[in-house]
A and B are shown apart, each in its own frame.
Chain A
Amino acid sequence: MNSNFDYTVIDRILEDIGCEQKHTIALLQAIQEHYHYLPAEIFPYLAKKIGTSEAIIYGTATFYENFSLEPKGKYVIKVCDGTACHVRRSIPVLNALRGELGLSETKCTDDELLFTVETVSCLGACGLAPAITVNGKVYPSMTPDKAKELIKTLKEEAAAE
């Protein structure tokens, strides 16, 4: 076990939620909310606490789309490509974002760890199609130009901090 890793965060989460197998997903969610991804160190630790194998926990974490084993950027941009957004042209918005940030389907996060661009199958904001979210905030009726403008604003915001 990695001695440099701060397990007090994990302990607090375990105390909050519980440490039975049925809590696995809630635990992983809470850990991801804290770190914005799932650090490798947590798997043996959780397995011991829950009393199951590391493989079971790892299997659960990799099964679900929303868990990430890689660190994500400061701004996580989710482009909705649900049916409604798709027919209202979400792909050009996605391409504009990726083009602006030098990202691709396989490279979702930039090297400065500032932006992550990913697609989701439906945000349920179909009335606002095409929609994207940045760290959970919904931006409605996007166009490639609006997307570029948004990146500019976010970059300025990050630089100002």
Chain B
Amino acid sequence: MIKTRTELQEYRESCLAGLNAQKCRVLICAGTGCVAGGSIDIYNRIIELCKKQGLDTQIVLEKHVDHEGIGVKKSGCHGFCEMGPLVKIEPYGYLYTKVKIEDCEEIVEKTILHAEPVERLFYKDKEGIAYEKQFDIPFYKKQSRTVLDECGQIDADSIDEYIAFGGYSAFEKALFDMSSEQICEQIEFSKLRGRGGGGFPAGVKWKQVLAQKVTPKYVVCNGDEGDPGAFMDRSIMEGNPHRMLEGMMIAGIATKASEGYIYVRDEYPLAVARLKNAISQAKALGLLGEKILGTSFSFDIHINRGAGAFVCGEGSALTASIEGKRGMPRVKRHRTVSRGLFEKPTVLNNVETYANVPFIVEKGVDWYRGIGTESSPGTKAFAITGNINNTGLIEVPMGTTLREIIFDIGGGIKGGKKFKAVQIGGPSGGCLTEEHLDMPLDFDSLSKAGAMIGSGGLVVMDEDTCMVEVARFFMNFTQNESCGKCTPCREGTKRMLEILQNIVDGKGKDGDIELLLELSETVSSNALCGLGKSAPNPVISTIKYFRDEYEAHIYDKRCPTGTCQKLKRFVIDPELCKGCSLCARNCPVGAITGQVKSPFTIDQEKCIKCGACMSGCKFKAIKEEF
């Protein structure tokens, strides 16, 4: 239990000494991606092999260490999920990709014992060039990892490592050297904007909560990262949970709040486990609890698991859910800052926002404003997924262009295909096309283009993606997740989904596009909460940029990319057909007719596009047309 500031500083010194005693650190990625690839087995195997060599892998940082050892650690997500499982070895900076259990022996023998690289495990690019150091790889080189910096560098389960890396020193500074007003001001001047999507200035929110007279006040962290295709918050919670806790604790000092709540998606069990562990470690050290470090500040943090409702990412729905109720948004007569959780003043920010806070407190406003753009300073984490070569998690300064993200960091489109669009901001965002590739990504330029940063999911789509189907997919998602409280969202999304479904099924009618736009207008201007207001965005932006695809579906009954099954035409090539009649017998609706030993034909009116004829044909005489 640490009771004073001096004791904390001494503790940090001893943790650092312990860290320095590890002459070699093996960091095995234990993010969800790499774990699925078998990284835990690799971790166990390396420990086993090190023990065989008589190496100490269990250096406890807080104790006085008198000998050298090896640090074998389960780290957070390194971000390069496409290449997992990843193993990084410090101080050499080697990054091994796609490591298998059979590789462990060589890693221990060569790298751990003799500081030599295992070259065959280095990342190789398309031209076959191997990169030995992590930060030489193009995927990392163009990034500026700040919030995610320690994800992958430290043991995600160890508060001692976090402290050794300078953790909780911003908290220390805020607690002893700054007043609540000063912290709020610093955050306000830094122009830190909410990373959850809205982009609201965090400092302004904090000041409003500080000004409230009612107590208790709450600090709530939104870890309900529901946008499909986004996983940066998960990686922070899994990879460096203390960074986020520290941010929440500073928010606690700044707003004079006494309790914190973290609302995490139930789909992130690993994040829940790591956060629970982090909280109990912080409590055991006395960084959370009553009268922290001998001051008058008391603060405790609880975890609430979500139960599978996307709408709970909306502020008032989230607080309702923490209160144990149905997660439905409310009409905001009072703002969350004055009456939020349990009707008390509440600061509500997203995971990444809190994770930025310790840096700003420690390094100052000027440092922070030096990164990114004038109106959106700092960095932003993006999850890049979809039809792209380097799927993963990245962090770049605000204002980086899409081209740099997709082509330089992401390595371009999978399979050498052509870039078509990128969906940004999930089901509430819009799509950006070729013409936006050189646009700087920040809060303001995106909203001008009709999209939003959202939480930072970037789903890249190649030329084979049908944009009408994409719009239908997102509408299906929001329609499913609509809580049903307000009519515009409940009914509007349902009708819009019906129209989109008809279009992809080949039943689109003249006037559908106009009707969709009219409904979009009604839903977005009348829905109660952000989910409904932004639900039409994917439809509006796909119509704006890909109207010709909608028209092809509606008027020509044709899907230009051949994605929509119901719009495919199966035809028999008379040259190849031997007239065996197998297809006619396979057809469930009797749409195929003909004379044995002469070419058969398919009646397009009767055909239900099931494809049974094509998969059964021995002569490959049946083809799909679109």
Contacts of B461 in A (CB 8 A): 87
Contact A121 B310 (CB under 8 A): yes
Contact A26 B226 (CB under 8 A): no
Instruction: Report if A84-B84 is in contact (Cβ < 8 Å); known contacts: A21-B323, A23-B324, A65-B308.
Output: no
Contact B327 A124 (CB under 8 A): no
Contact with B along A46-77 (1 / 0, CB 8 A): 00000000001001100111110000000000
Say which residue of A60, A82, A122, A129 sits within 8 Å of B324 (CB atoms). A60
Interface residues of B in 299-340 (CB under 8 A from A): 304-310, 321-328
Contacts of B391 in A (CB 8 A): 84, 126-127, 129
Interface residues of A in 18-65 (CB under 8 A from B): 20-26, 28-29, 56, 59-60, 63-65
Contacts of A28 in B (CB 8 A): 307
Contacts of A125 in B (CB 8 A): 32-33, 36, 231
Contacts of A121 in B (CB 8 A): 226, 228, 310, 477, 480-481
CB of A54, distance to nearest CB on chain B (Å): 14
Instruction: Report if A83-B307 is in contact (Cβ < 8 Å); known contacts: A120-B267, A122-B229.
Output: no
Q: How far, in angstroms, from A139 to B35 measured CA to CA in the complex?
A: 10
**Closest residue of B by beta carbon distance from A84:** B385
Contacts of B226 in A (CB 8 A): 121-122
CB of A23, distance to nearest CB on chain B (Å): 6
Say which residue of A21, A120, A129, A140 sits within 8 Å of B385 (CB atoms). A129
Say which residue of B267, B465, B480 sits within 8 Å of A123 (CB atoms). B267
CB of A51, distance to nearest CB on chain B (Å): 12
Contact with A along B470-500 (1 / 0, CB 8 A): 1001100100110100000000000000000
Q: Is A148 positioned at the interface, with any CB of B under 8 Å from its CB?
A: no
Total number of residue pairs linking A and B with CB closer than 8 Å: 137
Say which residue of B33, B304, B323 sits within 8 Å of A127 (CB atoms). B33
Q: Is B536 positioned at the interface, with any CB of A under 8 Å from its CB?
A: no
Contacts of B234 in A (CB 8 A): 124
Say which residue of A24, A87, A127 sits within 8 Å of B82 (CB atoms). A127
Q: How far, in angstroms, from A139 to B265 measured CA to CA in the complex?
A: 20
Q: How far, in angstroms, from A84 to B461 measured CA to CA in the complex?
A: 9
Q: Is A93 positioned at the interface, with any CB of B under 8 Å from its CB?
A: no
Q: Is A96 positioned at the interface, with any CB of B under 8 Å from its CB?
A: no
Contacts of B457 in A (CB 8 A): 83, 126
Q: Is B268 positioned at the interface, with any CB of A under 8 Å from its CB?
A: yes
Q: Please count how many residues in chain A sit with their CB below 8 Å of the partner chain's CB atoms.
A: 40
Q: Is B350 positioned at the interface, with any CB of A under 8 Å from its CB?
A: no
Q: How far, in angstroms, from A87 to B480 measured CA to CA in the complex?
A: 19
**Closest residue of A by beta carbon distance from B427:** A83
CB of A136, distance to nearest CB on chain B (Å): 6
Q: How far, in angstroms, from A20 to B308 measured CA to CA in the complex?
A: 21
Contact A66 B426 (CB under 8 A): no
Contacts of B328 in A (CB 8 A): 63
**Closest residue of A by beta carbon distance from B81:** A127
Contact with B along A112-138 (1 / 0, CB 8 A): 000000001111111111010000111
Instruction: Report if A128-B36 is in contact (Cβ < 8 Å); known contacts: A63-B309, A67-B307, A83-B426.
Output: yes
Closest 7 CB pairs of A and B: A127-B81, A82-B228, A65-B308, A64-B307, A24-B324, A66-B308, A84-B385
